[in-house]
Amino acid sequence: MSKRVGIIGAGVSGLAAIRCCLEEGLEPTCFERSNDVGGLWKFSDPKEGRASIYQSVFTNSSKEMMCSPDFPYPDDYPNYMHHSKLQEYIKTFAQKKDLLRYIQFETLVSSIKKCTSFLVTGQWVVATEKDGKQESTIFDAVMICSGHHVYPNLPTDSFPGLDRFRGNYLHSRDYKNPEAFKGKRVLVIGLGNSGSDIAVELSRLATQVVIGTRSGSWVMSRVWDDGYPWDTVSLRKEPVFNDELPSRILCGIVSIKPSVKEFTETSAGFEDGTVFEAVDSVIFATGYDYSYPFLDETIIKSRNNEVTLFKGIFPPLMEKPTLAVIGLVQSRGAAIPTADLQARWAAKVFETCLLPTKKEEMNSQIMFSSFFRFGQSQTLQTDYITYMDKLGSFIGAKPNIPWLFLTDPRLALEVYFGPCSPYQFRLMGPGKWDGARNAILTQYNRTVKPTRTRVVSEAQRPHPFYNLLKMLSFPLLLLAATLTLMRKSLRSQSSE
């Protein structure tokens, strides 16, 4: 008899969880409180307990890097998509993979508790509510896929004088469009992706926009060398991507200030002693809290807005590894492929119970180094490639580069020197996709396709072999310089 898995949320993480459970022979049931899939990417007005975005949101990861590993985007999709375009892809994915029939929409999960026989069975009791009717169901395992953009962090106590500020203030979660701020003087607190996006959008209608930031940030463009998306060229993701913010700053429409020291009735004073006068509105782009109100706080401990999870997925010190959190990790990469690999490993653990569960093992120094702590002050937690390789190695999905060089040199060069695309984690192991090789070899074609809107001479993309030459050039030059110095030294000694 197949094990039953309860899945909370039908966003990109929840859909990945359903899909991976089916691949592992498990029986998933997904509970979604709204009437559609997509989670964060389904635009709606702010509602309690539900993620919400603003109307102008575009993705910060390119389409080839943020697709499901066996479901590429259509060639004509833009590299960076408006949220409505991504939502279209998500719905198509759910339909094509036949996932919708496993989802119970407009169903609220009110509690998740251990069964009385948990020490033996590892089972959970999930209480749900729909149309005023309550129901409880026993599951062999549970995946929490509700994300981390649900409960806004509004640190009002950290800003003296805010209680007497006469203007209005709100969290970025409640911001939808700039019309209400036309002709206003607006202060945006926080320089993350949301803060920079909102500031740029406001600058088109507001009289003046000021960004208050505690530590600043690197602001980079989505477009990289030769017009390619940044994440197909660069191996590291910086915190903020915004193509317009630098020009808005140069034009004087947006100003950057340090942390806000205090508020008065009409102004905001900063740490450097400067003051922003006649402030009409304040928008807090200050991130989100980590909270699971439906779960006993002793299971996933959240203290000082920090959550500790083994590999960013499993709560530590559990008697049975039958609870997983999917999609909470914020790595230097896209969420969709990360959630897919997390869900694949979690489903494998549910089926085989391979995760160490003894208290002494989980408390050992080696195991403890594998815990991730998540807090609002640390947006990016782990390196994408390292994290994906580690998860892939757990299930045998990490590409075997030496073997690929022996059996398929062309593919090996693309995997090793090309971008860390999601497809490579479906080349081998459980869930292997026969189309992964072709998807990897044609990913650049899909990248340039939407921008080729007129006939021009064909530009050749550098062959991966040239990347190898670049890597070897420095040590060769260093060796040549060393030999030259040695020869000069020997000559000087012989002349003496």
Give residue 463's pLDDT.
57
Ramachandran sector of residue 147 (left: φ over 0; alpha: ψ -120 to 50; beta: rest):
left
- Are residues 181 and 208 both part of a single domain? yes
Give the DSSP per-residue string, 427-486.
Answer: SSSTT--TTHHHHHHTHHHHHHGGG--S--PPPPPPPHHHHHHHHHHHHHHHHHHHHHHH
Domain residue limits at 68: 4-150+289-395
Specify if 437 maps to a domain. no
- Give Cα 454 distance to the centre of its chain: 34
Give residue 372's pLDDT.
53
- Are residues 181 and 281 both part of a single domain? yes
- Are residues 349 and 362 both part of a single domain? yes
Give residue 388's pLDDT.
92
Amino acid (one-letter) located at 179: E
Give residue 232's pLDDT.
66
Residue 339, H or E segment? helix 335-352
- Are residues 142 and 273 both part of a single domain? no
CATH number of the structural domain spanning residue 342: 3.50.50.60
pLDDT in tens, 339-392: 999 999 999 999 886 664 445 444 443 333 454 554 444 443 678 888 999 999
Give residue 446's pLDDT.
92
- Are residues 41 and 126 both part of a single domain? yes
Give residue 351's pLDDT.
87
The number of folded domains in the chain is 3
Last residue of a domain, one of 224, 256, 286: 286
For the record, the structure tokens of 456 come out as 């021009």
CB-CB neighbours of 288 under 10 Å = 19
- Are residues 61 and 159 both part of a single domain? no
Enumerate the β-bridge partners of residue 223. 229
Residues 6+ apart with CB under 8 A from 104: 29, 30, 31, 32, 128, 130
Q: Residues in the chain with pLDDT < 70?
A: 49, 225-227, 230, 232-239, 302-306, 353-381, 456-474, 488, 491-496
pLDDT in tens, 25-71: 999 999 999 999 999 888 887 777 677 788 889 998 899 999 999 99
Specify if 426 maps to a domain. no
- Are residues 385 and 307 both part of a single domain? yes
